[in-house]
Chain A
Amino acid sequence: MMKASAKLLPALVLAVVMTGCGDQRVLEKLGFSQTSSYDIADHDLTEFAVSIPRAEPQAQTKREVLSAVAPSGKEARIKLARQTNLLLVSGQLRNTLFSVAIARNGMEKLLDTLVRDPSVSPRLKISIVNGNAKKLLEKEYKQHPVTGKYIDGLLEKEAIGRTIPLTTLYSFTRDLYDDGIDPVAPVLKDEGDHIKIDGIGLFRDDRYMTKIPPSEGLVFAFLRGSFKQGEVSVHLTEEKNSAKSAIMFSSILSRRSVKVRRDASGTPSIHYHIKMKGAVLEYTGNASLAEDSEREQIERQVAKELTRRGEAIIKHMQQNRVDSLGMGIAVRNRMSYAAWKKLNWPEVYPEVKATCSFNVLINNIGKVE
């Protein structure tokens, strides 16, 4: 037995070592695509661009941006691979930008290449660019880190603050294929010497339809689910003298509950109730927050104002027939399978009575009265 093992050992070593000869990946020869972008080009073509950080010390620039026009994303990648000395790989791809124009035509086909390729991470962030995605990616923003990194950091930070949802390849496709919710994605815009969040893009199936302004981002987050952390600013008009004031909440804790009712005809109605707790960091009005009665009045005012803003968002979504809050999920989960299949949700959705209410609690007012 030992003899057989002794003979097999060199063969095993050889086989193991030889396996390493195929599919070599030498770090210096690889171009790690970090951010990519898709734009519409003439005649049904797609313009694909990719930004690759360069690490070698002798490199003149910190990154390389390549672009090509082709009928499909992967074909464009083959084309632009001819422009670089690096082997392009997509294992480190962190962000993909789609121009609004291309997103309006539908994303499913474009996402296919990303979902199919096993080297692409499901955590790849998806965002929409109001304007030209390639131009935004190409541009150098002097005060900020390299553009790809800048976008990545911006999206991640804002998602933690809940002004935008964190949209990844996984979450986008998940909501795309779910029959009770439509996907959302943050919208970016070039603002001269910086990039700004331009709102939350709302999709109907895979098509970009409309967006919510960035100021309403947190109200949208309230309606979309429970969360911790976030900041919101609310403008109030005082009842007594109609003076305007503003109050800003931070460290928000929000819990959402959904109620679905169905009337005699079977048409569902939905009510969102949000319990929000937060610390006041800024208040420009005249009331004294330390006074229980006055504080409670402010709380009620804030709740009323948030309800108004929430219902405006819901109305906007229903008018555009985008179910970005996942009302369909709530309705579906309170129905029988047969009834759900019979109910043509996309048709019913705009007619559904949807309301919301807020309950606001100021849990601390900071260091002054």
Chain B
Amino acid sequence: MNVNGNGIITEKLSSFHLSVLVFMTQFGVVIFALPQMLSKTFGTNGWVMLPAYGIMVILNLLLVGAVYRLGNGRSIFAILEQAIPRVLLMPLYLFLVAVWAMLGCLVAKQYVLIFQMIAFPTTNPMLFKLVMDMLLIWLMLKGLYNISKAATLFFWFSVWMILLVFFFYGEFKFSRLTPFILKGGEGGLRDYVGIFAAFLGYELSILTFQYTDAKTKFLRSTIYGSLLTTVFYTYICFVAFGFFSFQQLNKMLYPILDLMAFIRFPFIERLENLFYGFFLFTVLLTVVMYLWSAKEACQRIVPKIKEGVLAPAIVLTAYVMAFFPETLSEVQAWLQVFSELECIIAMGLPMLLLLVLGLTRKKASGT
């Protein structure tokens, strides 16, 4: 427990909580389309690319870790504002707020639209989103420590679903995987980035600096969290590649939905709606982390406005923005654009911070 500048006691994230938080932010609804994205982009056995993505995430996290180390765990805003005049930082902050808030709202809308497709075809999706957004406001207002506690709870609520993969062992065939590695794919750079979007979420750990201490083992915990995501993604996609034939996979938009529909218990079948419901937990965490990050950045622009006003304002704005993309394909097109921007932030922001830290150090040692 620590006392910050305002005299308020802030609890620090434990190492496990941080790992879970990173995992829950990363893992999301993209998994439903991931096997198809992989097979279309990389071709046969596209799942082998996932560990490569995982390594890229770790490299990126090393950058974040370097910022953490060099900045002595100071918040990134403090580092930036120490070297650059606030006025110059405003456009950057605005950009961060816009991208994070939009990503949050789009991820939520995507989840809701898929839910609508499989379960409630004529209910207004925005009504669902309204309910979700109210939960989000409450979570956001509680602060990061409580979000991470919720993340841990949600983690246990949803992580058991990985056991469902056992159901597919019966129809899984190694011969269906084919011995061809990455043949027949026709993806371009945008598709590669599109798959990387499935891993996004880890970069938000850059905002958690001041909620950590030495015991959190920041770098190690975030890497563990991202590794768990990579392992889960790889495992699920590997099974999907041996369960469906390659050309079949290319034709399916949501192979994992079909996988879940395949599950049958002796007493009940067609449980995919229920299982899909459990994914709400991971989606909720992804969304809340993006919106919370947007709020953190926004607070730097308008420090005078209270958190209790800012959080609902951001959620409301995001809600209004979510009206614009109406169909699932529109949402996906928007998501593609914003995740591309987010990739730039994920790589660019730590580099900018390292640059700033390097320059201020030189200055300090120079005088």
- With both beta carbons as reference points, the residue of chain B lying nearest to A329 in the complex is identified as B175
**Given A4-B308, A122-B261, are A19 and B128 neighbors across the interface (CB < 8 Å)?**
yes
8 Å CB interface, B98-137 against A: 117-124, 127-128, 130-131, 134-135, 137
8 Å CB interface, B287-310 against A: 308
B178 interface hit (Cβ, 8 Å)? yes
**Given A8-B137, A18-B127, A122-B261, are A179 and B247 neighbors across the interface (CB < 8 Å)?**
yes
Of residues B44, B134, B264, which shows the largest number of chain A Cβ atoms within 10 Å of its Cβ?
A: B134
Task: Kindly list chain A residues whose C-beta atoms are within 8 Å of the C-beta of B169.
Answer: none
Task: Kindly list chain A residues whose C-beta atoms are within 8 Å of the C-beta of B312.
Answer: 4
Complex-state Cα separation, A340 to B178, whole angstroms: 11
**Given A8-B134, A22-B122, A122-B261, are A174 and B270 neighbors across the interface (CB < 8 Å)?**
no
Please state if A5 and B138 are interface contacts (CB–CB under 8 Å): yes
Please state if A177 and B251 are interface contacts (CB–CB under 8 Å): yes
Task: Kindly list chain B residues whose C-beta atoms are within 8 Å of the C-beta of A18.
Answer: 127
B331 interface hit (Cβ, 8 Å)? no
- With both beta carbons as reference points, the residue of chain B lying nearest to A8 in the complex is identified as B134
A192 interface hit (Cβ, 8 Å)? no
Say what secondary structure dominates the interface of chain A: helix
Stretch at the interface among A65-73, A263-271, A330-338: A330-338
- With both beta carbons as reference points, the residue of chain A lying nearest to B307 in the complex is identified as A1
Partner of B131, one of A12, A22, A175: A12
Partner of B123, one of A19, A173, A340: A19
A-facing mask of B257-294, CB < 8 A → 1, else 0?
11001101000011000000000000000000000000
Task: Kindly list chain B residues whose C-beta atoms are within 8 Å of the C-beta of A118.
Answer: 117-118, 257, 261
A23 interface hit (Cβ, 8 Å)? yes
Task: Kindly list chain B residues whose C-beta atoms are within 8 Å of the C-beta of A326.
Answer: 175
A91 interface hit (Cβ, 8 Å)? yes
B327 interface hit (Cβ, 8 Å)? no
Complex-state Cα separation, A330 to B175, whole angstroms: 8
A368 interface hit (Cβ, 8 Å)? no
Task: Kindly list chain A residues whose C-beta atoms are within 8 Å of the C-beta of B262.
Answer: 122-123, 170
Complex-state Cα separation, A61 to B124, whole angstroms: 38
A15 interface hit (Cβ, 8 Å)? yes
Complex-state Cα separation, A333 to B180, whole angstroms: 8
**Given A11-B134, A15-B130, are A22 and B270 neighbors across the interface (CB < 8 Å)?**
no
Task: Kindly list chain B residues whose C-beta atoms are within 8 Å of the C-beta of A122.
Answer: 258, 261-262
Complex-state Cα separation, A326 to B175, whole angstroms: 10
**Given A12-B131, A330-B175, are A175 and B245 neighbors across the interface (CB < 8 Å)?**
yes
B176 interface hit (Cβ, 8 Å)? yes
Partner of A1, one of B180, B244, B308: B308
Please state if B124 and A22 are interface contacts (CB–CB under 8 Å): yes
B91 interface hit (Cβ, 8 Å)? no
8 Å CB interface, B230-272 against A: 244-248, 250-251, 257-258, 261-262, 264, 269-270
Please state if B270 and A178 are interface contacts (CB–CB under 8 Å): no
Complex-state Cα separation, A161 to B123, whole angstroms: 45
Complex-state Cα separation, A19 to B171, whole angstroms: 38
CB distance from A61 to the nearest CB of B (A): 26
Task: Kindly list chain A residues whose C-beta atoms are within 8 Å of the C-beta of B120.
Answer: 22-23
Please state if B248 and A178 are interface contacts (CB–CB under 8 Å): yes
Q: How many residues of A sit at the interface, in one of the four size bands?
A: 35 or more
Task: Kindly list chain A residues whose C-beta atoms are within 8 Å of the C-beta of B127.
Answer: 15, 18-19, 22
Task: Kindly list chain B residues whose C-beta atoms are within 8 Å of the C-beta of A22.
Answer: 120, 122-124, 127
Please state if B179 and A23 are interface contacts (CB–CB under 8 Å): no
Total interface residues in chain B, CB < 8 Å: 42
A318 interface hit (Cβ, 8 Å)? no
B343 interface hit (Cβ, 8 Å)? no
Task: Kindly list chain A residues whose C-beta atoms are within 8 Å of the C-beta of B141.
Answer: 1, 4
Please state if B184 and A337 are interface contacts (CB–CB under 8 Å): yes
B-facing mask of A1-38, CB < 8 A → 1, else 0?
10011001001100110110011000000000000000
B183 interface hit (Cβ, 8 Å)? yes
Please state if B134 and A12 are interface contacts (CB–CB under 8 Å): yes
A121 interface hit (Cβ, 8 Å)? yes
Task: Kindly list chain B residues whose C-beta atoms are within 8 Å of the C-beta of A23.
Answer: 119-123
Complex-state Cα separation, A91 to B268, whole angstroms: 13
CB distance from B126 to the nearest CB of A (A): 11
Partner of A8, one of B121, B138, B244, B251: B138
Please state if B134 and A333 are interface contacts (CB–CB under 8 Å): no
Of residues A5, A15, A332, which shows the largest number of chain B Cβ atoms within 10 Å of its Cβ?
A: A15
Partner of A178, one of B130, B135, B245: B245
8 Å CB interface, A304-357 against B: 326, 329-330, 332-334, 337, 340
- With both beta carbons as reference points, the residue of chain A lying nearest to B312 in the complex is identified as A4
Please state if A333 and B123 are interface contacts (CB–CB under 8 Å): no
**Given A118-B118, A173-B248, are A333 and B258 neighbors across the interface (CB < 8 Å)?**
no
Please state if A333 and B178 are interface contacts (CB–CB under 8 Å): yes
Of residues B118, B138, B308, B312, which shows the largest number of chain A Cβ atoms within 10 Å of its Cβ?
A: B138
CB distance from A62 to the nearest CB of B (A): 22
Please state if A174 and B131 are interface contacts (CB–CB under 8 Å): no
Please state if B175 and A174 are interface contacts (CB–CB under 8 Å): no
- With both beta carbons as reference points, the residue of chain B lying nearest to A4 in the complex is identified as B308
Please state if A337 and B180 are interface contacts (CB–CB under 8 Å): yes
Complex-state Cα separation, A238 to B314, whole angstroms: 87
In the complex, 11 of the A-B residue pairs with CB atoms within 8 angstroms, ordered by the A residue number, are A1-B141, A4-B308, A15-B130, A15-B134, A19-B127, A19-B131, A123-B261, A178-B247, A333-B175, A334-B179, A337-B183
**7 shortest interchain CB distances as A-B pairs:** A22-B123, A178-B245, A177-B247, A177-B248, A337-B183, A23-B120, A337-B180
List chain B positions with a Cβ less than 8 A from chain A. 44, 117-124, 127-128, 130-131, 134-135, 137-138, 141, 171, 175-176, 178-180, 183-184, 244-248, 250-251, 257-258, 261-262, 264, 269-270, 308, 312
